Structure 1
Amino acid sequence: MLAYRHAFHAGNHADVLKHLVLTRVLRYMGEKDKPYTLIDTHAGAGGYSVEGRYAQKNAEYGEGVARLYDRKDLPAPLADYMSLVKAFNPDGQLRQYPGSPAIANFLLRETDRLRAYELHSTDHRILASYLESRPNTQVSDRDGFSAIKAELPSPTRRAALLMDPSYEIKTDYAKVLTALREALERAADTVVMIWYPQLQLLESTQLVQRLKASADAAAKKGWLHVRLTVAQADERGFGMLGSGMFIANPPFTLHDELAECLPLLVERLGQYDGANYVLEQKTV
């Protein structure tokens, strides 16, 4: 995990789905006057150059955010997310992609708290510099999974938790599941957002059912699951087919907002005729 750099993947189809969900959750939480806390367990560098050598290696953003950037017919939730990407590119050209801390920096109010965790030393330094002037913010180089006990319950009572590890180490699947259980045990109404890659691996295929079972037992407001499949595996069965987001205690508005956006995401981001999406929820 310490070798992982998100810059290679910045702005790809998985970022589009993840950051669309994050934008909608933070918009919803910001509608109430009371402040809230966002905990980002794998925050990355905050922003990424899509013109740099990392992003250019595979140019994954070209099959992700670049396919939406100049469109004028986006549904309102997608248009809102894309407006944040454009705000990160003040000259109008797609040169930089905002990571989750940058999206949070756009959407959190001064009274809202941000707790960002990043283990990679270089990315941690970049992130700390980027967020140094933001009030009510702490950037840590500690393990984000282990920080949940310290962060929840939050002093603000209202909290959102974003977990998007690289899953390059298979133990991340178990850690995500344990972290969800711990977060809901400590604060059962926390909005927990979990990103996962869609791979032909046992750990990946079993994860969602295990997350559902944990949320069924502990989440006050049920759960929502969305998956966007954009590609086929190669001849050896390898490759990322797509990705998903599992949200415990989702905003009640989120299902309909995603339903409005997903057909267009399949159309624009799909790389084969069988591209598809799944959207399901359980309410309490």
Structure 2
Amino acid sequence: MLSYQHIYHAGNFADVHKHLALMLALEHLSAGTSSFSFYDSHAGRGIYDLASTEAEKTKEHQTGITAIDLASKKDSAAARYLKLINDFRATHGETSYPGSPAIAQTFMRHGDRMFLTELHPGEHRHLLDNLGQYQSVDISRRDGLETIAYLNRPHHLRGLVLIDPSYEIKTEYRDVARTVMKAQSNWSSAIYMIWYPILKDERHKQMVRSLLSLGGAKAFESKLMAPAAVAGERMQGSGLVIFGAPETFIEQLEAAMTDVQQLMFAGEGEHIINKGQPTGNHPLII
């Protein structure tokens, strides 16, 4: 199914959750001396205009990035994220918003590489227009899960894999778990970040159990639950399962999400961390 276009949801609270975590991981990778690769399974168009007809139709950004005005702690992750957004807008316009590929591009150094897949023809064209000028970026119109599942020769030893499909098709939950299982067997040194929506029917639960079982003690789940006034009828929260994060990553993410809850939700909502158990403690369900 190729109907999903992220422009309708760009900048919402789930994007803030995902992009803050992504920024923290990229800060870690870019602080190292060796080169790294970034893979995005569902890259979208890379850059969004929050004043577009599509974004204004849903106005989801108004309870997301647009609701965040100022970070009180100038050295906090939330403050760094807002600076990243403001610096981006200084170049691309005051209503622009960077998607995951554009955020990753700000951390690319000489020798680093970015590999973006996007199957939707219209979004792929936008992606080429927005990021195709960078020599370090490889853009392909391919199935992102299939690409990552068979990634048996990664460009670098270090890297980050972002998997964030729309989950319009229920089988994508199963497909994501299978993709990560295959990818990890080929590239175990990478950081894996799997995003999913938390819906009322909780259809994500089996996938999360499988992922935490697969990752064991090296994996954890981060859930940002929106307050009732923001959650709406379907999406109640935003979830991430993260593998292979740096040692202090959980503490950094918890502090960042505490700041974001205050800035975006006036302290309401809830951020929950669930840590994986040692491998073998739970059966793998895929």
Corresponding residue SS for 1:151? coil
Aligned residue for 2:253? Answer: 258
Aligned residue for 1:122? Answer: 122
Structure 1: 4+ residue segments shifted above 4 A? 91-94
Q: Deviations over 1:229-257 (max 9, x none)?
A: 013499xx941111111101112121111
Aligned residue for 2:136? Answer: 136
Q: Deviations over 1:138-187 (max 9, x none)?
A: 10110001112453441311121100111111111011101110111112
Note the 1:1-284 alignment, pairs <5 A.
1-73=1-73, 76-90=76-90, 94-216=94-216, 222-232=218-228, 238-270=233-265, 275-282=269-276
My pick for the range that moved more, 239-248 or 131-140, is 131-140
- Structure 2: runs of 5 or more not aligned: 279-286
User: Does the CA-based 8 Å contact 2:150-2:183 persist in structure 1?
Assistant: no
User: Does the CA-based 8 Å contact 1:233-1:241 persist in structure 2?
Assistant: no
- What residue identity is the alignment partner of 1:173? Y
Q: Distance in 2 between matches of 1:36 and 1:61?
A: 31
User: Does the CA-based 8 Å contact 1:75-1:261 persist in structure 2?
Assistant: no
CA RMSD of aligned residues (A): 2.3
- What residue identity is the alignment partner of 1:123? E
- What residue identity is the alignment partner of 1:225? E
Q: Distance in 1 between matches of 2:251 and 2:16?
A: 17
User: Does the CA-based 8 Å contact 2:149-2:179 persist in structure 1?
Assistant: no
- Structure 1: runs of 5 or more not aligned: none
User: Does the CA-based 8 Å contact 1:197-1:244 persist in structure 2?
Assistant: yes
Distance 1:261 1:74, change over 3 A: farther
CA drift of 1:213 comes to 0.7
Q: Distance in 2 between matches of 1:92 and 1:171?
A: 37
My pick for the range that moved more, 160-169 or 63-72, is 63-72
User: How many residues are paired up?
Assistant: 277
Distance 1:153 1:251, change over 3 A: farther
- What residue identity is the alignment partner of 2:164? D
Distance 1:92 1:180, change over 3 A: closer
- What residue identity is the alignment partner of 1:104? A
CA drift of 1:64 comes to 0.5
Q: Distance in 2 between matches of 1:72 and 1:242?
A: 24
Q: Distance in 2 between matches of 1:92 and 1:98?
A: 9
User: Does the CA-based 8 Å contact 1:183-1:190 persist in structure 2?
Assistant: no
My pick for the range that moved more, 72-81 or 57-66, is 72-81
Q: Distance in 1 between matches of 2:260 and 2:72?
A: 14
Q: Distance in 2 between matches of 1:91 and 1:40?
A: 23
- What residue identity is the alignment partner of 1:113? R
My pick for the range that moved more, 28-37 or 128-137, is 128-137
User: Does the CA-based 8 Å contact 1:230-1:271 persist in structure 2?
Assistant: no
User: Does the CA-based 8 Å contact 2:47-2:99 persist in structure 1?
Assistant: yes
CA drift of 1:74 comes to 5.8
Q: Distance in 2 between matches of 1:245 and 1:14?
A: 10
My pick for the range that moved more, 170-179 or 91-100, is 91-100
User: Does the CA-based 8 Å contact 1:231-1:271 persist in structure 2?
Assistant: no
Q: Distance in 1 between matches of 2:25 and 2:263?
A: 23
Distance 1:91 1:214, change over 3 A: closer
Q: Distance in 1 between matches of 2:115 and 2:122?
A: 18
Corresponding residue SS for 1:107? coil
Q: Distance in 2 between matches of 1:245 and 1:94?
A: 29
User: Does the CA-based 8 Å contact 1:119-1:143 persist in structure 2?
Assistant: yes
My pick for the range that moved more, 61-70 or 262-271, is 262-271
Q: Distance in 2 between matches of 1:240 and 1:278?
A: 16
- What residue identity is the alignment partner of 1:87? D
